[in-house]
Chain A
Amino acid sequence: MRAFDYVDATSVEDATTFLQDEADSALIAGGTELLVLMKNKVINPRLLINVKSIDGLHRIRADGEGSLTIGSVATIAELGSDEVVQRSFPILADAIRVAASPQLRNMATVGGNLCQKPRCWYYRGSFDCFLKGARGCHALNGQNRGSGIFGRSECYAVNPSDLAPPLVALGASVVIQSPQGRKQISLADFFTLPRGELLNQTILGRDEMVVEVRIPKQPHRSRGVFLKAMERKTWSFAQASVAMQLSRSDDRIEDVRIVLGAIAPIPWRATAAEDALRARALTRQLIEVASAAAVEGAHPSGDNRYKVTLVRELVKRGLSALLNT
């Protein structure tokens, strides 16, 4: 790590002002991603702005009407053990249970988790690539077992967050603040394919920060499933994951969101599968159709071909689990 200055932010305004004033600065929350990137010299900020010191920013608040507001520096362990999360948004609790390791969950924050960089070996190694402002993607013809099968852009790296798919499936939104002001956008729109000038998987601007994440009340009788496949039984990023949330009325599927993780640069909505399901009754046959639809248009690049099968099976399994609930 190169040397840097450190400051405890006193408020969100304070933090974003620092971001604005010092071009070479970064927010530090849990530090579990930032410090690793700095130790590897992928980034070398001159100022770290600690946001954990901001009063109240770690709070998780239920409004009593079924929605939840999560302060961005709440740790993912705190979120996972929150009663409302466990009761009303179990897919989020399930995702947290299999994310990273206990120690990391105690340190990592929700905001940091959503802002983490891809795990692509080339990006994290000493290769110049698209995400670092150079041309081209080394993974395309290199070791690409971890690369995406959807949402190809100039970069094949997948979004690694385990929190993002369930949060998108729950229709969450994020509140973002910059010295210019505050805005709320849907989490789905927060993520974006890196392309052109945008060398990132989120739309977050240089002087912006995530303040909180809001999860809306889910429809009555809404059910969900989260499944994650890894290279070993724990403490691994997903090879593929699926988060789905589905509500029915009179046995017909009303509302459905299926979000695939670790297979695209963003949490990937399996819209074709959702379309196949909507307004129908969930049956074994429909599950076959929907899981096939989930991988329609998949575009593997070599070593990651297995992800197509894997995603199809995960979707099938997830839907099957919902069949009798």
Chain B
Amino acid sequence: MPKIVRTRVEFEGEVRERMAVVVEDQVLPWSAREKLDIVGRPHPRVGGRQIVTGGATYTADVQIPGMLHCKIRRSPLPHAEVLSIDTAEAQTLFGVRGVLTHANAPRIRWFGNSFLFDRFVRFEGDEVAAVAADSEEIAEDALDLIHVRYRELPFVVDPEQAMKPDAPRVHKEGNVIGGPEGDVYERGNLEEGFARSNHVFSERYETQAAVHNCLEPHCCVAMWNGDELVLWTSTQHAYGVRDGVAAALGLPLHKVRVICEFMGAGFGSKQGAGKHEVIAALLAKMTERPVRLYPSRREENLAGGVRHPTIQYLRAGVRRDGKLMALHLRSIANVGAYGTDSSEVGGPVRELYDCANVRTEQFAVYTNAGPAAAFRAPGYVEGMFALESMMDQIAYSLSMDPLQLRLVNYARKDPVRGATYSSKPLDEAYRTGAKMAGWNLRAKAQQMGARRRGLGMASQIWGGGGGPPAYAIIRLNSDGTADLVTGTQDIGTGTKTVLVQIAAEELGLKAEDIRITVGDTLAGPYAPVSAGSMTVPSMGPAVRAAAKSAREELLSLASALMQVSAASLSIRNGIITSTTPSKTVAVSDVTRRIGDFMIVGKGARGPNPPNVKVRTFGAQFAEVEVDVETGDVTVTRVVAVHDFGRIINPLTSGSQIEGGIVQGIGFALMEERFVDPESGTSLNANLEAYKIPTILDIPIIEHALIDRPDESCNSIGSKGAGEPPIIPTAAAIANAVYDAAGVRVRSLPITREKILVEIGKLKLQPKPAGEAPGPAQKRRRPRRG
């Protein structure tokens, strides 16, 4: 029976306590020794065949007869008041079927106090009007015929400027979200901590706006069936879109169906209903035709979201022996015009190390830049870069092994709440990684002419425990195959594959005898957003519970048919076996004999364990080559060791690790959105000037998985794997660059320009053999208490 509990739900690094209706998990966790047939083994991707043959239908590929094409007219200015919009000419263009502006669109509230089509535009790319026409070309031609008059307003794109009291206001409430104090966390006594430090380090770090650039844009197709809306959309949360769109349009929930079968990635940028979905639905209603909205890459770069750029002032006090005495972080995240403040930049400082005196002040600031959105481990990637760069600097200046410094400050318990961890094999990750990477052999600087080789490391901490609510349904067909029906979505991470493996394992069927449905709110029950590394740990246990319930029902029927006790029965590979007396029967025999009576198993994710903290951990070691004459940086090798609890599928979890590292390399070395300070507009909103890694930028990636079930976290013993792998990469690379070239670049990306500037400061002194002290360290005299 469901009951109401308080459960701790952790999302994107933030832990919130909330009321939830949960169903106690009836399933005992698989123990570490349990012999599993399908879970834990490589399994090729479900849907792989469609993908490699071009037959997979992504939202981008949905075509409905009579479908119109929608294009959006966007603001060319970073901040303005829309004085008038003249659409007369556009309306008369042959093939134009509908035009939407603030004049004829319903006044739908969007983002606080603004509207779907607002009188004020707050960034270059803000929606001003939309056209639906017979073809993309006509829709585009029509955009040019819409005449908009703007009154330009003063704008601000620099977050530190935006914090000043006299800065132009992006929203009426002021630019600093939550007020001028920011979001403060404190433990211990900071002043005392610094006073008791032998050394105090103080640095400024900067991370850039990185664009998600999922290859599939934020596209959708909207179609009305009478008064019901069917919406195909590229999303990380079908249910979230359903609820958001229904609310915007004032529809009851059962009148909105959201579909997302194949999905061209999200990385955090597609977490709920967007304006584009509502606009497509409105135009479809207006024109009584299905409408497709397919943003260009430029629009995707302007309005599809970016990783919050940050400025971080980090101060660390350490004792002579390396013990952290105090950490103080002041971080400023630029959320753009409509971003949210969900990014926990201070997370790593608060919880990675055992340090008694910690204060973090997080500021999230509106500017007139394109909106920020969660991007794969939001906050932690940025925060980890600062913290782990700082740790490296401290280690070098104390002449300590950077890894040793981390062990000196190892947190056995969660430093924030003092809770014990459900498991924490970080020390093991350090050891394994160090061994694989040859950490202890690194001391000798390797030089090949101008090329210097170096090794750096960084740690990873992140959530990924998932939680309720999450549901699944399994139906057995009369031929012994099964339908696993869910409302989750596979955003490219392998969700379908992993859930089929879990269902097959628990049910005792072959994986190929199970079909999974994802991404259809009409078919599957509620499923959480595929973000926060929570899909597998949330959905996995729900699927397992559903499978268990179906299995029990099947076995009870089988026991009657076989005239043996249900307790003596087990299923493997589609065969039911009884031990006493020894008998076997195929599942399909049983299902055939019960005819069209359908066994339906229902499962729900149980609550999280009370009083333990569920975290994923890991460490990465990066080896780079820096050409100290040309500033070229080449990542030659990355070693990654991560703990995600039990590995369901080593093939897909390995892909997550590699993917995270590839994106981490992009973030470390090349990716950056440029906004022109004078005009407040984006300069490189395309994939030529905005660089993402190619196959030639990718080193040898070696990874190891701790692969030990976390039995207390949930019934499958798994934690999420999506975000952790990107967290330490940039920091490890930055530290490797220092090891190689003796320059510490504290602002990402580490470009040739920055390397050459830093090396220029060093006047090209060759790197001394062995460990060199940091070149540009500001040391503060320890204060006496």
Contact = CB atoms under 8 A, between A and B. Distances in A.
Contact of A313 (B629, B677, B681): B629
Interface in A1-42: 1-3
Contacts of B631: 306, 309-310
B693 interface: yes
| Interface pairs A-B: 5 shortest CB-CB | A233-B696, A121-B683, A306-B753, A313-B629, A306-B756
25 contacts: A1-B137, A3-B141, A121-B689, A125-B683, A126-B681, A127-B679, A138-B678, A142-B676, A142-B678, A142-B683, A143-B676, A145-B753, A229-B752, A231-B752, A232-B693, A232-B694, A233-B634, A234-B697, A236-B691, A303-B753, A305-B753, A306-B631, A306-B757, A309-B631, A313-B630
A312 to B, nearest CB: 9
Contacts of B630: 229, 310, 313-314, 317
A238 to B, nearest CB: 12
A316 B630 CA distance: 11
A233 B693 CA distance: 8
B683 A122 contact: yes
A309 B760 contact: yes
A22 to B, nearest CB: 21
Given A121-B674, A229-B630, A232-B691, A143 B697 contact: no
Contacts of A303: 753
Given A121-B684, A143-B683, A231 B760 contact: no
B139 to A, nearest CB: 13
Contacts of B756: 306, 309-310
Interface in A206-255: 229, 231-236, 239
A313 to B, nearest CB: 4
Nearest to A234: B696
Contacts of B678: 138, 141-142
Interface in B664-682: 669-670, 674, 676-679, 681
A317 B760 CA distance: 18
Interface string A111-142: 00000000101100111000000000010011
A294 to B, nearest CB: 14
Nearest to A146: B689
B632 interface: yes
Interface residues of B, number: 32
Contact of B670 (A232, A305, A316): A232
B694 A233 contact: yes
B565 interface: no
A143 B690 CA distance: 14
Secondary structure of the B contact surface, majority rule? loop
Given A1-B137, A121-B683, A306-B631, A126 B76 contact: yes
B697 A232 contact: yes
Interface of A: 1-3, 119, 121-122, 125-127, 138, 141-143, 145, 229, 231-236, 239, 303, 305-306, 309-310, 313-314, 316-317
Interface string B757-771: 100100000000000
Contacts of B684: 121
B751 interface: yes
Given A231-B752, A306-B753, A309-B629, 6 more contacts: A126-B76, A138-B676, A231-B691, A305-B757, A313-B629, A313-B630
B632 to A, nearest CB: 7
B530 to A, nearest CB: 29
A122 B677 CA distance: 13
A303 B689 CA distance: 16
Interface string B627-639: 0011110100000
Nearest to B755: A306
A125 B694 contact: no
Nearest to A2: B141
A309 B755 CA distance: 11
A233 B632 CA distance: 9
Nearest to B689: A121
B299 to A, nearest CB: 13
Contacts of B683: 121-122, 125, 142-143
Contacts of A309: 629, 631, 756, 760
Q: Which residue of A145, A303, A309, A316 has the most chain B CB atoms within 10 A of its CB atom? A: A309
A236 B631 CA distance: 16
A235 B694 CA distance: 8
A56 B683 CA distance: 41
Contacts of B757: 305-306
Interface string B54-93: 0000000000000000000000100000000000000000
A86 to B, nearest CB: 22
Nearest to B674: A143
B691 A3 contact: no
Contacts of A239: 752
B632 A229 contact: yes
A317 B450 CA distance: 10
A314 B631 CA distance: 11
B453 to A, nearest CB: 17
Contacts of A138: 676, 678
Nearest to B675: A143
A1 B760 CA distance: 46
B698 to A, nearest CB: 9
Contacts of B679: 127
Contacts of B760: 309
Q: Which residue, of A119, A141, A229, A313, has the highest number of chain B Cβ atoms within 10 A?
A: A313
Chain A CB within 10 A, most for which of B140, B631, B632, B753: B753
B670 A142 contact: no
A233 B662 CA distance: 14
Contacts of B694: 232-235
B691 A310 contact: no
A138 B674 CA distance: 14
Contacts of A314: 630
B733 to A, nearest CB: 14
A231 B141 contact: no
A75 B688 CA distance: 21
B676 A3 contact: no
A263 to B, nearest CB: 14
Interface in B712-762: 751-753, 756-757, 760
A235 B751 CA distance: 17
A51 B689 CA distance: 29
Interface in B546-563: none
Contacts of B141: 2-3
A1 B752 CA distance: 36
B681 A125 contact: yes
A138 B683 CA distance: 11
A143 B678 CA distance: 10
Contacts of A232: 669-670, 691, 693-694, 696-697
Contacts of A234: 694, 696-697
Contacts of A2: 141
Contacts of A236: 691
A229 B752 CA distance: 9
Given A232-B691, A313-B630, A306 B696 contact: no
Contacts of A235: 694
Nearest to B759: A309
B620 to A, nearest CB: 20
A229 B683 CA distance: 21
Contacts of B752: 229, 231, 239, 306, 310
Contacts of B632: 229
B758 to A, nearest CB: 11
B239 to A, nearest CB: 36
Contacts of B697: 232-234
Interface in B591-628: none
A3 B691 CA distance: 31
Interface string B171-182: 000000000000
B22 to A, nearest CB: 48
Contacts of A313: 629-630
B486 to A, nearest CB: 39
A235 B141 CA distance: 31
Nearest to A145: B753
